[in-house]
Amino acid sequence: MEHDYADMLGLSEYDFEKAFDSFDERSYEDTVYYSLPDYHTKLERGTVLFDGEVVRGFPKVPRTLVLAEGVPRYFSDTVYVEEKMNGFNVRVARVDDSLLAFTRSGIVCPFTTMYLRRRYGGEIEALIDSHPDCMVCGELVGADNPYTRHPYPEVDSLELRVFDVRRQESGEPLPVEERREVVDSHGLPQVRLLGVHEMEEAASEVRDTIGELDAENREGVLMKSADVGQQLKYTTSAANQDDLAFAFTLPFDYGQAFMFRRIIREAFQSHEDDTEEERRERAHRLGESILGSMTETIERVDRGETVGEEHSVKAKPEEVEVLLDHLRDQGLHLVIEEDRVEDGERYVEFVKKTQATQDKTGVYLDGKIVRE
């Protein structure tokens, strides 16, 4: 290739050529770029090659199912605990002198790029000016998130929460304390620091924190070493069951692995934490998440309604238009439920239609025989 991407990625020419076969060719504003949609043995998912520059993918963060055993096995020193928020993962990098927002799989999202430039562009530019080789990693959260909709009482519609600052080319992270200071000093909102614990006490402290987050229907925590060389995640029961409720609303579109992983998390969490009474209560909630969601979908299809992923977005009209075009370009079938403009902002509620659940539920309601 024209650019020496192999050297930038720290790969031999042979390894780079093998990896490059897995990249997808894409374009943004007439510039061709390449993104890695899945994890590779030597590269992170979402790694991007863009006009002679590299935007490294975000590393996969492992999960523990049992805090009491997983935390001391994985960490050897101080553990920093930050909130893990339920939203849309984005990396913002300065490429060709412009801020671009990349999805987890390495696609330039035109909507997110426009939105973040308007809402936080000055702050992000200033941070990158102070750390020219860095990118900002964060979560877009809020009720009007067109990708992952989850309301937070402190979030107005759609906001950014920074959880990492990393070297754009290598992916090396800034240490937790340095990153929090840098992000604060540039006026960017970041995820909450929920505690700093010595390794010996971290598991019990995190368990208490998880209980508080669970009661507030929040997602969970990310545990990090001071240099972010080690990371571990753990989610609340509320998050697990919200995911299951969503998945079983669209049972023929979400894979069994997605559902099974969350049931496994609930089982191990119950084993570690629950009394017999609490286990029965958890089982009841789990059943409601699964059966309640599926029967609601069946009833909706039976009434002739459209089922799919329900989202809303509120932004400048040109930003919303770019989003809808982008989603349709990805092959998604959108059903617009509401579309209005108020105070210079366009608000749209839409459904990403999921054909498999719509079709299969319909034919089973019509009496199709199931052979098992």
Start-to-end C-alpha separation, the chain: 52
**Given pLDDT bands bounded at 50, 70 and 90, which one contains residue 42?**
confident
Domain 1-55 has CATH 1.20.120: no
Percent of the chain with pLDDT over 70: 99
pLDDT at 1 over 70: no
pLDDT at 2 over 70: no
In the chain, where are the structural domains located? Answer: 1-55, 67-82+199-235, 237-302, 308-365
Range 67-87 average pLDDT: 97
Give the C-alpha distances (Å, rounded to integers) separating 323 from 110, 198, 293, 348. 7, 44, 28, 11
Query: 370: pLDDT confidence band, cut at 50, 70 and 90?
Result: confident
B/e letters for 57-73, b = 16+ CB within 10 Å, e = fewer, are bbbeeeebbebeebbee
**pLDDT tops 90 at residue 372:** no
The residue type found at 1 is: M
pLDDT, tens digit (0-9, with 9 covering 90-100), for 262-282: 999 999 999 999 999 999 999
The span from the CA of 297 to the CA of 307, in Å, is 7
What pTM does this model have?
0.94
Tell me the average pLDDT across 74-88: 97
Cα–Cα distance between 322 and 45 in angstroms, integer? Answer: 25
Query: Per-residue pLDDT for 116 more than 90?
Result: yes
- 371: pLDDT strictly greater than 90: no
Q: Residue 125 burial by CB count (10 A; 0-12/13-18/19+): exposed, middle or buried?
A: middle
Strands 24-28 and 31-35: antiparallel
| Distance, C-alpha 3 to centroid of its chain | 31
Q: Model confidence over 155-186: pLDDT tens digits? A: 999 999 999 999 999 999 999 999 999 999 99
Segment 123-138 shows an average pLDDT of 98
Reported as a pLDDT band with limits 50, 70 and 90, residue 139 is very high
| Integer Cα distance of 81 and 215 in angstroms | 18
Kindly write down the DSSP assignment for every residue of 284-328, as one continuous string: HHHHIIIIIHHHHHHHHHHTT---EEEEEEEE-HHHHHHHHHHHH
Q: What is the mean pLDDT of the chain?
A: 95
pLDDT tens digits, one per residue of 223-263:
999 999 999 999 999 999 999 999 999 999 988 899 999 99
The answer to whether domain 1-55 and domain 67-82+199-235 are alike in fold is no
- Encode pLDDT of 305-360 as tens digits: 989 999 999 999 999 999 999 999 999 999 999 999 999 999 999 999 988 999 99
* pLDDT tops 70 at residue 68: yes
Q: What CATH number labels 67-82+199-235?
A: 3.30.1490.70
Instruction: Provide, rounded to the nearest whole percent, the portion of the chain with pLDDT above 90.
Output: 93
